[in-house]
Amino acid sequence: MRRAAAAGIATAAAALANMLPSVGAHAASPSQDYALNCMGCHGTEAQGIPGKVPPLANALSRFMRTSEGRNYVLRVPGAANSALSDEQLAAVLNWLAVTYDSSAASSQPAPFTSNEVAALRRRPLLSVLATRSAVVHNLATTGPSPPSQY
Amino acid sequence: MTKHWPGVTLVILGAGIASSWAAAPAKPQPPPLPAEHLTVATVGPKSPHWVYVVDYAYNNEIDSRVWLFDGDTHRRIGQIDTGFIPGINISPDGRTTAVATTYFARGGHGTRTDVVEFNDNNTLAKTGEIVIPPKHAQTLAMLFTIGYSSDGKFVYVPYLTPAASFGVLDPARKQVLGEIDTAGCTLVFPWGPNRVSSICESGRLLTVTLDARGKEGSRTTSEPFFNVDEDPVFAQAIPLPDGYAYLSFLGQLHEIDFTQPKPTPRAAWSLVSAAEKGTWRPGGVQVGALHRTQQKLFVPMHRGGDGSHKDGGTEIWVFDLKSHQRTARWPIDTRVTGAAVAVQVSQDPAPLLFVATDKAHLLVLDAQTGKLQHDEKNLGQTPQLLLNP
Amino acid sequence: MKNLDRLVENSARSLAKRTSRRSLLASLGQLLTGAALLPLLPIDRTARAQEPARPSAAEQKCEYWKYCAIDGFLCACCGGTSTSCPPGTQSSPITWIGTCHNPADGRDYIVSYNDCCGKVSCGDCFCDRNEGEKPMYRLSRNNDVNWCMANSESNYHCSVSVILGVAEK
C-alpha cells in the first residue's frame, strides 16, 4: 500500500517540478531556499506573525493576480534585497504560491519568470505599508485579496 | 565577701586593672579621627586615555552597564547603567553618552518600554530620555545601534521588529521626529549633518538624506562591494576620517569614502598574504580600531576556519592604513588573559591600545610598542565594545 | 520507515488543512524522494510535549552537533531540552536557521534555532558557535539579534535547536 502510494507520489512530484520555471542545476530546491532565507520570519506555514511579519499563505498568490500586485511582491525588502538569484527568487515565490494557497488549482496565477523578477526587484519600495494598502485596495475590487494589514 | 561589699570588690578590681594599664610600655594614644563628610566623587578632568567599556552582562542581560576606565591610573572612574541589549554612543562634542535600551515593567518581564537615555559625561548622571517605539534593534554590541549626526542635532536609532527601519530623534527637544523604512538594510552609519547609511544583504549600502525636519529627502544605493555568500563583511565597521571601513571574514578591508555624493568604495586591500588567507582571520566583536592621525589600524587576528568569525584574537596585527603594510604582530597570552574580542586605541600622540578579552580582562598596551602595561581582570562580565571619550 | 511514517502523518495532517490534494501529493512526493525538506512545526511540538524534560548528556554540551550555529544558553541546561523550552517560557515564533553536519549518519540537517522567552537570562551552558552564520544584514542566518523581539514577553532566556529536515546537497 505504501509502496504504491509512493510511486504515485513520485509521479506527482515530477509533474510539479515540470510546472516550475527551470532552476539552475546547482540551485537548491525552492522549499530549501525558503527554509534557509525566509521561513525564519515568515513561518513554517508561511503564516507570518500578526502585527510583525506579513503572511504569505493565502496572500502571495492573490498579489500575483495583477501586475500591480506582482510589482509589489518583487519589491518588498525580503525580495528586493535578498541574496537569492533572480531564478531562485522566482522559484521560491512560485513554490509558495502553489503550496500555501487553498484556492482551486484552476485559479493559480501565472508563475514568475526570472526575467520578470530581474526587471522589477532592483527598486525596493520606499514605503511598504502604504504601497501594500493601495495594492490590496485595488485587488479587492477584482477578487479575493490578501489582508491589507497584518 | 561578695555579698556585703560588692561595691568595694568592683573598686578593687578596677584599681587592679588601672594599675596594670599603668604598667604597659608608654605609647601615646593617637588623637581621635575627625568626623568624615560623605561626598559624591567627581569624574575629574577628561583624559584621552579613558575608555568606555560596554558590558552586556550576558548572564544577567537586563543588567548591562558601561564602565568608564582610566588607562593611566587603571582605576574605574564610574558606571553608566544601560538596561537590556543596549546601543551606546557618544555625542560628537563628547559631553553626552546616549543609550538606546529596553526596560521591562517588572524587571525581567512585563510591558516593554524602549528609551534613549542621555548621560552627562561630566557627572555620569542621567540627564534625560526620549521614549521611542519598542522596536530598538537588540543585537551584538556595535557602534552602529545608535548614532549621532555630525552636528549632534539628530540621533538615529535602528529598529528591528524583524522589519528593519530607523528612528530619527531630536535630542535637544527630546522628540521622536519620525521613522525611515530601510527595506531590510540594517544599522545606522551616520555621515555629515543629515545622511544615514544602512548595510544590505545585497552587498550595498542604502543611504538616506534627511531634510531639516528629519524626514526623508532622498535615498540612493551604492554599488555592491561585497558578496554575502563568498566573503561577508562584519557589520561592525571601523570609522575612518572620511567614511567607514568594512572588514571581511577573510581579511579584506573595504574602505568606503563617504565624502562623495554617495558612499563610494575604494579598491579593497588584504590584511593577509595569499598564504595566510583562510587561515589567519579577523574575529571578535569590535574587530578593528584606527588611530586617525597616525593612520594605524589594529585588528585582533586568530587562526581558524569557516565559522570562526567571532573567535577572539590570539594576536593583534598592526597596519599602516596608507601603505597597507603590516607593521607589527603582538601576541596575546590567551591562557592568562583570554582572547581579544574588542580593540580600541586612544587618539592622542602617545596612544594606548585597549583590548577586551573573552575572559573579561581589559588589557592596556602601549599602542606604539605593543608592551602590555596593565591587565585589568574582571572588568565586568562580558566586555565587548570600547569607546573613546 | 517508522520515523518516515510519523513525518508523513504529521505533514499530511498539517498540509491537508490548507492545500489542494494535488499540491499535497506533490509536496509529500518531494519528502519521500528525499529531494526537499518538509518543515516540522517547532511550536506544535512544544505544545504537544507536555511532559518533563529529559535532556541527554550530549545535548547539554556546546559541542553537540545540532548546536553548530547556536548563540546563547542551552535550554537543555535550563529546564528544557534541545527541542523544548523550559517551563513558564514561550518559544519565539521567529528564528534563525543553521545547517549542521551530523557525524552519526553523515547527513547535513537544517536546524531552526528558536529562542525561549519571557524570563531573565538562564545563565548556564553559554554556547556561541557560528557555522554558516552571517551578520545581521542577512537576518535568517544571524544569531546575534534577540529572536525574542517579536514575542509579547521579549526577554531572552535560552535557545533550542530543532531539526527541520535533511539539507539537500
pLDDT in tens, C45-68: 444 556 787 999 999 999 999 999
pTM across the whole model: 0.86
> C146 with C71: CB under 8 angstroms?
no
CA dihedral sign, ordered B234, B240, B244, B245: negative
Mean pLDDT confidence for A91-116: 87
SS3 state of residue C90: strand
ipTM for this prediction = 0.90
Q: How far does chain A reach from its first CA to its final CA, in angstroms?
A: 43
Residue C45: its H or E element: helix C42-49
Is any Cβ of chain A less than 8 angstroms from the Cβ of C23?
A: yes
B129 pLDDT above the threshold of 90 = yes
pLDDT on residue A85: 92
pLDDT on residue A147: 87
CA dihedral C89, C93, C99, C104 (to 10 degrees): 40
Is any Cβ of chain B less than 8 angstroms from the Cβ of C27?
A: no
Residues above pLDDT 70, as percent of chain B: 94
Distance of CA B270 to the CA centre of its chain: 26
pLDDT on residue C37: 47
Mean pLDDT confidence for B66-82: 98
Q: Does residue C44 carry a catalytic annotation?
A: no
Is any Cβ of chain C less than 8 angstroms from the Cβ of A52?
A: yes
CA dihedral sign, ordered C57, C62, C63, C65: positive
- Return all residues near A93 (Cβ < 8 A) that are at least 6 apart: A60, A64, A73, A79, A112, A117
Q: Which three cell numbers stand for residue A56?
A: 504569505
* Tens of pLDDT, residues A3-54: 444 444 444 344 333 333 333 445 579 999 999 999 999 999 999 999 899 9
pLDDT on residue A143: 87
> A150 with A55: CB under 8 angstroms?
yes
Structure confidence at residue B47 as a pLDDT band (50, 70, 90): very high
Cα–Cα dist A53/C92, whole Å: 13
Asked if B200 and A41 come within 8 Å (Cβ–Cβ), the reply is no
Asked if A36 and C97 come within 8 Å (Cβ–Cβ), the reply is yes
Of B28 and B84, the structure prediction assigns the larger pLDDT to: B84
Name which of C56, C50, C52, C40 is nearest C6 in CA terms: C40
C18 pLDDT above the threshold of 60 = no
Cα–Cα dist B279/C139, whole Å: 26
pLDDT on residue B21: 54
pLDDT on residue A106: 63
Of A150 and B226, the structure prediction assigns the larger pLDDT to: B226
Structure confidence at residue B362 as a pLDDT band (50, 70, 90): very high
Structure confidence at residue B17 as a pLDDT band (50, 70, 90): low
B325 pLDDT above the threshold of 50 = yes
B119 — phi, psi (to 5°)? -120, 135
**HEC per residue, chain B:** CCCCCHHHHHHHHHHHHHHHHHHCCCCCCCCCCCCCCCCCCCCCCCCCCEEEEEECCHHHHHHEEEEEEECCCCEEEEEEEEEEEEEEEECCCCCEEEEEEEEECCECCCCEEEEEEEEECCCCEEEEEEEECCCECCCCCCCCCCEECCCCCCEEEEEECCCEEEEEEECCCCEEEEEEECCCCEEEEEECCCEEEEECCCCCEEEEEECCCCCEEEEEECCCCCCCCCCCECCCCEEECCEEEEEECCCEEEEEECCCCCCEECCCEECCCCCCCCCEEECCCECCEEECCCCEEEEEEEECCCCCCCCCECEEEEEECCCCCEEEEEECCHHHHCCEEEEEECCCCCCEEEEEECCCCEEEEECCCCCEEEEECCCCCCEEEEECC
CA dihedral sign, ordered B76, B77, B78, B82: negative
CB atoms within 10 A of CB B151: 11
pLDDT on residue A130: 86
pLDDT on residue C10: 42
Asked if B161 and C156 come within 8 Å (Cβ–Cβ), the reply is no
Residues, chain A: 150
Residues of chain C in contact with residue B112, where contact means CB-CB under 8 angstroms, are 154
Cα–Cα dist A107/A64, whole Å: 11
Q: Which three cell numbers stand for residue A15?
A: 509533474
- Interface chains of chain A (3 or more CB pairs under 8 Å): B, C
> B152 with A46: CB under 8 angstroms?
no
Cα–Cα dist B168/B176, whole Å: 6
B8 pLDDT above the threshold of 70 = no
Residues, chain B: 389
- Return all residues near C17 (Cβ < 8 A) that are at least 6 apart: none
Average pLDDT over chain B, rounded to whole? 94
SS3 state of residue C19: coil
Asked if B162 and A52 come within 8 Å (Cβ–Cβ), the reply is yes
Of C23, C28, C150, the CB nearest to A98: C23
Greatest Cα pair distance in chain B: 108
**Antiparallel, parallel or unpaired: β B216-221 and B205-210:** antiparallel
Active-site residue among C5, C105, C108, C115?
Answer: C115
Of A6, A35, A38, the CB nearest to C37: A35
SS3 state of residue C155: coil
Q: How far does chain B reach from its first CA to its final CA, in angstroms?
A: 79
CB atoms within 10 A of CB C88: 10
pLDDT on residue B18: 52
Mutate to test the interface with B, among C137, C143, C154, C158 (most CBs of B within 10 A): C137
* Tens of pLDDT, residues B245-280: 999 999 999 999 999 999 999 999 999 999 999 999
* Tens of pLDDT, residues C96-138: 999 999 999 999 999 999 999 999 999 999 999 999 999 999 9
CB atoms within 10 A of CB C135: 25
Active-site residue among C5, C65, C96, C124?
Answer: C96
Q: Does residue C65 carry a catalytic annotation?
A: no
**Left if phi > 0, otherwise alpha if psi is -120 to 50, otherwise beta: which for B370?**
left
Q: Collect all residues from B whose CB is shorter than 8 A from any CB in C.
A: 58-62, 84-85, 102, 104, 107-110, 112, 137-140, 160-162, 184-187, 199-201, 228, 232-235, 306-310
Per the DSSP assignment, residues forming a β-bridge with B220 are B207
C29 — phi, psi (to 5°)? -60, -40
Mean pLDDT confidence for B193-198: 98
Name which of B134, B137, B177, B133 is nearest B154 in CA terms: B177
